[in-house]
Chains A and B, each alone.
Chain A
Amino acid sequence: RKEVEQDPGPFNVPEGATVAFNCTYSNSASQSFFWYRQDCRKEPKLLMSVYSSGNEDGRFTAQLNRASQYISLLIRDSKLSDSATYLCVVKGGPDKLIFGTGTRLQVFP
Chain B
Amino acid sequence: EPEVTQTPSHQVTQMGQEVILRCVPISNHLYFYWYRQILGQKVEFLVSFYNNEISEKSEIFDDQFSVERPDGSNFTLKIRSTKLEDSAMYFCASSAYYEQYFGPGTRLTVT
Contact = CB atoms under 8 A, between A and B. Distances in A.
* A is bound by B: yes
B25 interface: no
B89 interface: yes
A93 B59 CA distance: 14
Given A99-B42, A99-B44, A100-B42, A94 B91 contact: no
Contacts of A86: none
Contacts, number: 52
A97 B100 contact: yes
Given A95-B33, A95-B48, A96-B56, A49 B43 contact: no
B34 to A, nearest CB: 11
A43 B103 contact: yes
A25 interface: no
Contacts of A96: 33, 45, 48, 56, 58
Q: How large is the interface on A (under 10, 10 to 19, 20 to 34, 35 or more residues)?
A: 20 to 34
Nearest to B44: A99
B31 interface: yes
Interface in A16-36: 32, 34
B45 A92 contact: yes
Interface of B: 31, 33, 35, 41-45, 48, 50, 55-56, 58, 89, 91, 98-105
